[in-house]
Amino acid sequence: MNKRLKLILKNPGFQSFLASLVCIVLGLLIGYIVLLFINAEGATQAILMIIKNFFKYPSAGAAMKYFGSTLVKAAPLLMCSLSVLFAYKTGLFNIGAAGQYALGAGICLYCALALRLPWFVCIVFAMCGGAFLGVISGILKSLCNVNEVISGIMLNWISLYTVNTMLAGVKEETSHYTMNISNVNTDALLPKLGLDKLFTNNQYVTLALPLSVIVAIIINIILDKTKLGFELKATGLNKFAAKYSGMAEKKNTILTLAISGALAAMGASLFYLTGYEQWSVTSSSVPAMGFNGIAAAFLGGLSPIGAIFSSFFIQHITEGGAYVDKTKYCSQISDLISSIIIYLCGFVLFMKQFMNNMIRRSELKKGGKG
Amino acid sequence: MGNEYAVEMRNITKRFPGIIANDNITLQLKKGEIHALLGENGAGKSTLMSVLFGMYEPEEGEIFMNGNKVDIKDPNDANALGIGMVHQHFKLVECFTVLDNIILGTEPVKNGLLNKQEAKKKVLELSDRYSLKVDPDAIIENITVGMQQRTEILKMLYRENDVLIFDEPTAVLTPQEIDELMEIMRNLRKEGKSILFISHKLNEIMAVADRCTVLRKGKCIGTVDVENTTKEELSKMMVGRDVEFVVTKEPAKPGEPVLKVENISIAAKHKGIKAVNNVSFEVRSGEILCIAGIDGNGQSELAYGISGIEKLIEGKLYLNGKDITHDSIRERNIGGLGHIPEDRHKYGLVLDYPLHYNMVLQRYFESEFTTRYGFLKKKNIRAYAERLIKDYDVRSGQGPDTWARSMSGGNQQKAIIAREVDRDPSLLLAVQPTRGLDVGAIESIHKKLVELRDNGKAILLISLEMDEVMSLSDRILVMYEGKIVGELDPKETTPEELGLYMSGAKNNMKEGA
Ligand SMILES: Nc1ncnc2c1ncn2[C@@H]1O[C@H](COP(=O)(O)OP(=O)(O)OP(=O)(O)O)[C@@H](O)[C@H]1O
Ligand SMILES: [Mg+2]
């Protein structure tokens, strides 16, 4: 009995799952404490709101509709977390995902609004743009030995202002937001495939959902079953052994970051081409999506399949934050609480290590008594 | 109650997935003795010592110290009980000084401030008393392996440990450093310390140990007094058959040159000097050419230069007549270069890959292991690994699925040798190939190398072991300070003469050649 439990506890897959769970609970707890400090009265209700998100709607139809909205934003997050974890398997930290996401958004919107191209062409161009940023980081890393984190952060800023400039020509006259795709070029909207009906006519639920899940599965297959995955993981685990075995380390670095960049940029087009949100050309920071991708990647145990669930969860919390009573808390509270939770999600690896030690210690104790 | 045993491990059993690493083992360490632990690769020596040091919890068994039952839950407990260990792979902080590493975890504090002066005094005292020469202010990554090891020993002494465990301390040392270590161990015994000493080198055990316990496949075969035994008897106890210590081989029939090295130079890690300085030689098919020399005279860099890991400053390399000076590592591998690297953990293995992945590190892309569309043929990879494991007797808990990290040091080495030899290279570059192997495994690896030679392959052997150099090679080149200083015929030379060349006292090469 006890032995079987211990075996389950030692299974690495289960450990990742448990660690993620512990991080989530801890994040919620700390979030709750912060709420208590700010205003004890509304704290319980506020944290429940965050957890409930769309479940707060009593009618099934409304709940479904807002469930759909959460999913719409979970798809790009999933793509960003895939971007981060794919690079991480090769031993690279793609903090540039945020900039690649921004550039992807800029290019797909420009293609849709200025060039009036159909959606799939917009996606392809956006992916090329993201890949291009990845290649720059990759070349700097492998030829000039510039750390990909540094170049990634610089490129994040460069992309932000490039996109702001690029989209200035396609913005509404009266606001600083880009034009609505549905008014300009309906060909650029992602096909709905009837999915909108499933979610109480939520028009933003599109092909993006199944597509992002399919991409996650493809990434999983690439990492686990192909020659390319074999090489990339070997490089990430021991770059000296990879070099010794004749794997082209420099080529792989560039290739990995190119693929990562394309994934993040694709994520942006899977979001902006639904028409759910417009780009503000006065943005002074890149969308948080790319950074949240880092948390989602870790929370998902660095597995593409895990990322599907972790991305949904993180988006769920973020959306839920929007329902917190604004009369009791200032308007930034939702961001604050969800960032605390997301931040703790980044601690999964640490938590796993910690749990391992605990298991070992309890084992040892038992050995002493018996 | 005056008990004669410093440590008694009674009926210890430790299981890992798929294997019983220690099967009901009893080990008694007398006070003030040097007790050797001998056994084949994977016999369970490191595991047994890790149990004593509190890193593994045994399923069964008890440990007594000075007659009292003790409970060792983790290395801190072991330390508190006076047990210290020098691991097979050192555990020092590379960027700290020697002194910092020694006091790490037991920093002396005075009024809340670190009192390093006192610690330094104590370390210097200890280093004097046991003649353990170290420079307390040197940074670990800049000092020799020998000095790193002395740091580990001082660390144990600083904590006033009385039971000292040495896990294969001599595998990484030069012959001179080994002699020094033997002397240090005798000193420690004189001071009343009790020592457990793991080694595969029977000469060392005969020279320094009082008693020897032999393990085979996790079981205890027996404990003998070293005085009343011989090398042959010990190796028979350990392997279960007679072991031949001399390599039997026909005279070499060298053919065409396979590797041609022309005036190559390679930079040293510390910029400004050349580790390899204008070296030229040839290795022909059907011969074993050995590069002998004291560690640190450019042999490692030479190997990395030939394999393509380090760049050449100047010179040319030809493999089978083709200029490979600017070829990538992959091109050299495909062109017929096999390489058993010096550092098995850094270059030789991906420790967090399973064994079967490690067996195809340079071949995974071949059509036998990958489909046209880039998918791995995992079945074939596994089957191939299974064959290598069988042919080369690589022992592990779960066969092809074992994580390389969990394998015993010697079996990791055997896996690398299996992979490289089985690729059937036309030139095999073997750097310290038998480091950490048991006598039985050394015998069979030597046989494989001779077999490879007789099949018309060229072998370039780089070794620090005088015995290996003398018995295996067909031709010897001696390297000293980055240059080849002598070419010798092993049948006509003596170890003494070889030693003179190695220390730079003799030179039979023309200047500028
Ligand atoms: N952490 C571990 N997990 C699983 N198996 C292990 C682990 N550590 C050791 N083993 C297995 O236990 C057996 C004994 O290993 P151990 O390291 O004790 O051998 P050893 O006698 O020290 O050999 P060597 O001379 O090669 O160092 C090996 O088969 C090894 O694969
Ligand atoms: Mg060992």
The rounded distance, in Å, linking the Cα atoms of A289 and A213 is 17
Whether residues B87 and B36 share a domain: the answer is: yes
Return the structure tokens found at B409.
């040091």
Does B344 reside within a domain? no
Mutate to test the interface with A, among B350, B380, B431 (most CBs of A within 10 A): B350
| Cβ separation A230–B333 shorter than 8 A | no
pLDDT per residue of chain A (370 residues) written in tens, 0 to 9? 466 666 677 677 787 788 888 888 888 888 888 888 888 888 888 888 888 888 888 888 888 888 999 999 999 999 999 999 999 999 999 999 999 999 999 999 999 999 999 999 999 999 999 999 999 999 999 999 899 999 999 999 999 999 999 999 999 988 999 999 999 999 999 999 989 898 888 999 999 999 999 999 999 999 999 999 999 999 999 999 999 999 998 999 999 999 999 999 999 999 999 999 999 999 999 998 999 999 899 888 889 999 999 999 989 888 888 887 777 777 777 677 778 877 777 677 777 777 777 766 665 544 433 2
Q: Considering only CA atoms, which of B396, B356, B9 is closest in space to residue B217?
A: B396
A245 contacts in chain B (CB < 8 Å): 329, 333, 361-362
Residue B429 Cβ inside 6 Å of ligand 1? The answer reads no
What residue numbers bound the domain in which A77 lies? 60-333
Q: Does B368 touch chain A (CB under 8 A)?
A: no
Residue B266 Cβ inside 6 Å of ligand 1? The answer reads no
Does A9 reside within a domain? no
pLDDT at A2: 61
Q: Does B353 touch chain A (CB under 8 A)?
A: yes
Whether residues B331 and B382 share a domain: the answer is: no
Does A315 reside within a domain? yes
The rounded distance, in Å, linking the Cα atoms of A44 and A115 is 50
User: For A227, which of B73, B350, B365 is closest by C-beta distance?
Assistant: B365
Does B342 reside within a domain? no
Full 3-state SS string of A16-31: HHHHHHHHHHHHHHHH
Output DSSP code: residue A9.
H
Output DSSP code: residue B255.
-
CA A233 to chain CA centroid, nearest Å: 21
CA A10 to chain CA centroid, nearest Å: 28
Does B341 reside within a domain? no
| Cβ separation A227–B376 shorter than 8 A | yes
Answer with the one of B239, B271, B293 that is the final residue of a domain.
B239
A368 contacts in chain B (CB < 8 Å): 71, 73
Q: Which burial class, exposed, middle or buried, applies to A128 when counting CB atoms under 10 A from its CB (0-12, 13-18, 19+)?
A: middle
The alpha-carbon gap from B274 to the nearest alpha carbon of chain A, in Å, equals: 22
Q: Find tokens 């004669």 and name the residue.
A: B4
The rounded distance, in Å, linking the Cα atoms of A118 and A132 is 22
Whether residues B101 and B20 share a domain: the answer is: yes
The rounded distance, in Å, linking the Cα atoms of A274 and B449 is 66
Q: Which residues lie across from B318 on neighbouring strands?
A: B260, B323
Does B287 reside within a domain? yes
pLDDT at A363: 55
CA nearest ligand 1 atom 18, residue: B44
Residue A193 zone, left/alpha/beta (φ > 0; ψ -120 to 50; rest): left
C-alpha distances (whole Å) from B197 to each of A20, B172, B190 are 44, 15, 16
Q: DSSP strand E in B226-256: where? A: none
Q: Does A3 touch chain B (CB under 8 A)?
A: no
Pairing of strands B19-30, B194-198: unpaired
| Cβ separation A241–B328 shorter than 8 A | no
The rounded distance, in Å, linking the Cα atoms of B99 and B119 is 8
User: At residue B311, what are phi and psi to the nearest 5 degrees?
Assistant: -85, 150
Q: Considering only CA atoms, which of B50, B52, B53 is closest in space to residue B28?
A: B52
How many structural domains are present in chain B?
Answer: 3
CA nearest ligand 1 atom 19, residue: B42
Does A41 reside within a domain? no
Q: Which burial class, exposed, middle or buried, applies to A85 when counting CB atoms under 10 A from its CB (0-12, 13-18, 19+)?
A: buried
B307 contacts in chain A (CB < 8 Å): 244
Whether residues B509 and B379 share a domain: the answer is: no
Q: Does B200 touch chain A (CB under 8 A)?
A: no
Q: Find tokens 């808990």 and name the residue.
A: B397
Does B343 reside within a domain? no
Does A359 reside within a domain? no
Pairing of strands B83-86, B163-167: parallel
Residue B201 Cβ inside 6 Å of ligand 1? The answer reads no
Output DSSP code: residue A329.
S
What residue numbers bound the domain in which B507 lies? 244-336+425-513
Output DSSP code: residue B365.
T
Which long-range CB contacts under 8 A does B333-337 form with residues at least 24 apart? B333/A245, B333/A246, B333/B362, B333/B423, B336/B258, B336/B425, B336/B426, B336/B427, B337/B306, B337/B307, B337/B425, B337/B426, B337/B427, B337/B429
Is residue A317 within 8 Å of residue A50, measured between CB atoms?
yes
pLDDT at A123: 97
Q: Considering only CA atoms, which of A133, A83, A126, A64 is closest in space to residue A266?
A: A126
Whether residues B86 and B212 share a domain: the answer is: yes
Answer with the one of B239, B273, B294 that is the final residue of a domain.
B239
Ligand 2 centroid to residue B200 C-alpha, Å: 10
Whether residues B295 and B332 share a domain: the answer is: yes
State the DSSP string of B14-58: EEETTEEEEEEEEEEEETT-EEEEEE-TTSSHHHHHHHHTTSS--
C-alpha distances (whole Å) from B166 to each of B3, B83, B85, B157, B181 are 23, 11, 6, 13, 11
Whether residues B116 and B144 share a domain: the answer is: yes
User: At residue B486, what are phi and psi to the nearest 5 degrees?
Assistant: -165, 145
B182-208 per-position pLDDT tens digit = 998 998 999 899 999 999 999 999 999
The alpha-carbon gap from B374 to the nearest alpha carbon of chain A, in Å, equals: 5
Whether residues B291 and B195 share a domain: the answer is: no
**Within chain B, which residues score under 70 in pLDDT?**
1-2, 110, 112, 270-271, 510-513
Ligand 1 centroid to residue A340 C-alpha, Å: 43
Is residue A159 within 8 Å of residue A100, measured between CB atoms?
yes
Does B227 reside within a domain? yes
Does B345 reside within a domain? no
pLDDT at A362: 61
Output DSSP code: residue A146.
-
Answer with the one of B239, B260, B293 that is the final residue of a domain.
B239
Q: How many CA atoms lie within 13 A of A153 on its CB side?
A: 4
pLDDT at B270: 67
The rounded distance, in Å, linking the Cα atoms of B472 and B96 is 40
Residue B41 Cβ inside 6 Å of ligand 1? The answer reads yes
Whether residues B250 and B116 share a domain: the answer is: no
Ligand 1 centroid to residue A137 C-alpha, Å: 42
Does B200 reside within a domain? yes
Is residue A72 within 8 Å of residue A274, measured between CB atoms?
yes
The rounded distance, in Å, linking the Cα atoms of A342 and A199 is 27
B264-284 per-position pLDDT tens digit = 999 987 667 889 999 999 999
Whether residues B235 and B257 share a domain: the answer is: no
Whether residues B442 and B403 share a domain: the answer is: no
Whether residues B147 and B17 share a domain: the answer is: yes
pLDDT at A361: 61
How many structural domains are present in chain A?
Answer: 1
Residue B435 Cβ inside 6 Å of ligand 1? The answer reads no
Q: DSSP strand E in B141-242: where? A: 163-167, 194-198, 211-216, 219-225
- At B59, which CATH number? 3.40.50.300
| Cβ separation A368–B328 shorter than 8 A | no
- At A240, which CATH number? 1.10.3470
| Cβ separation A227–B329 shorter than 8 A | no
Q: What angle do CA B10, B13, B18 make, to 5 degrees?
A: 165
Q: Which residue of A has its CA nearest to B330?
A: A246
Does A248 reside within a domain? yes
Q: In what order do the strands lie in the sheet with B257-267?
A: B274-284, B257-267, B314-319, B322-323
